[in-house]
Amino acid sequence: MVRTWRPCLLDSDRCDGRRPPGRRMPLSGGSPLVKNTVSEHMSKTRSPCGPTAEGGVELKFKATEPIVQRLLAGFALVGAGCGGPVEPPLSAMCGDAPLTVAFYALFAPVSYSADENPNSPGFSRHMGYEADLLSALEAMPGTGLSFVRRPIADWPGIWLLPAMPDFDMAGGGITILESRTLDDTGVRAVAFTSGHITFRQSLLVRSEDAARLSSYDALTSAVRVGVLAGTTGEARLLQITGIVDGSGVLRAGTRVETPAGTVVADGTGAFTITAAMASPVLEGRTRLHPPSSDMPQVVYLGRESGDQELFDALRDGRIDAVAQGEIGSGEAAHRSGGEFTVAARDSLAEFGGFTLDADARDLLTCIDARIDWLTDERRTGFAEWLADPSVFRRRAALWPGGG
């Protein structure tokens, strides 16, 4: 595998989910799942060290979350000297209390529940690539990490859950995007860990349509492409086909079917779709009709049941393609027994990570060091795990910072 060193992302002015010092976050909105409750569950406290390098930044901690106690138990903090941040030694513990992780339950083989039925005991059992990565983090000697895993079936906004009192961390194949770190008020609410998995978007089609739909250029208004709302699969499809501009603004004349009726985009920011948010008027969208014949129709499925609803629609002929990550498409093609195939692949590489509360900086640094060790600085990832699911466990046993 080619070694990759934390490349900057398409819509970001930083690398690996963390902004450069002194740079102001772009205001790009948040997720309808969280609304303004992030701010409601935070309290502000002035840094005991006075003004910071960024000009007297106020630190915000959740009043109901004992994250500080966890970190005090694990690190030798700067303390009374109020010096700059220091890197924790490899032997430092990340904490001494379990972290509650929200994991997306419907993204096999990256992150999924053993049973998709929310009423079954198996729904709470975390499976897949990220499940094994978290287990390896727990197994690293002297780290002190343990996770309580809670399944989440509703995708939009899952990345913002660590900014709320009930969760410390979120995962499930979440693409690292600067826009996903901000709440609806434009305040930075979460931060991403190091990227641990590489994604590329793709088109999954019926095998008999592979030649006809071999590239994104073949997607005309006669082609119906299924997507899951709020994903990078949706966002990249709209970008590649020109239905939105670089900021996610729908082209004038685009018609969108919603529960409240059909709306027509006027080319302004009032009609915007990105991987992090959608304009309120577009909430619950079910179908998008393009403004030009050289662009596809977009059909929205899977809000409650995930990718399986998209695959069923492809099999039944209700849609002609599914726009989603290559990993999910490859898994679906494999399971279909030749019925489906991956016909087109996006050239853009994306990286996925976990999210934590934006103010849990020491915890983030501690977890990052361990993720980078487990993935061998991204030399080991999904392909290696697929070939040998024990790869992260074996790597964890070699961790040099054990007690």
Instruction: Identify the CATH number of the domain in which residue 321 sits.
Output: 3.40.190.10
What is the pLDDT at residue 39? 40
Can you list the positions of beta strands (E) in 301-349?
Answer: 321-325, 340-345
53-96 pLDDT, tens digit each: 333 333 333 333 434 334 333 333 334 344 444 444 555 678 88
Question: What total number of domains does the chain contain?
Answer: 2
| β-bridge mates for residue 227, sequence order | 300
- Residue entry with tokens 């910072």: 401
pLDDT score of 355: 99
Residue 30 lies in a domain: no
Structure confidence by residue, pLDDT tens digits, 142-191: 999 999 999 999 999 999 999 999 999 999 999 999 999 999 999 999 99
The answer to whether 115 and 122 are in contact (CB under 8 A) is yes
Are residues 186 and 55 part of one domain?
A: yes
How far is CA 300 from each of CA 205, 249, 266, 307, 392, rounded to the nearest angstrom?
Answer: 16, 18, 21, 11, 35
Burial class (CB in 10 A: 0-12, 13-18, 19+), 393: middle
Does 296 share its domain with 226? yes
State the pLDDT at residue 179.
Answer: 95
| pTM of this structure | 0.75
Containing domain of residue 278, as a range? 201-345
- What's the CA dihedral at 94, 364, 108, 297 to 10 degrees? 170
**Can you read off the two tokens belonging to residue 398?**
């070699």
Q: Are residues 51 and 175 in the same domain?
A: yes
Does residue 255 sit within a domain? yes
Residue 142 within any structural domain of the chain:
yes
Q: Name residue, tokens 């809000």.
A: 303
- Asked if the structure places residue 28 within a domain, the reply is no
Domain shared by 132 and 182, yes or no: yes
Q: Which residue has the tokens 């840094």?
A: 47
Residue 72 and residue 189 in one domain? yes
The conformation of residue 84, written as its DSSP 8-state character, comes to -
Tokens coding 127: 């499976």
Q: Return the pLDDT at 12.
A: 36
Specify whether 191 is located in the same domain as 45: yes
Q: Give the Cα separation of 277 and 117 in Å (integer).
A: 27
- Please indicate, yes or no, whether residues 237 and 331 belong to a single structural domain of this protein: yes
Regions of the chain with pLDDT less than 70: 1-92, 402-403
pLDDT at 303: 83
Q: Are residues 126 and 194 in the same domain?
A: yes
pLDDT the model gives residue 92: 61
Whether 251 and 269 map to the same domain: the answer is yes
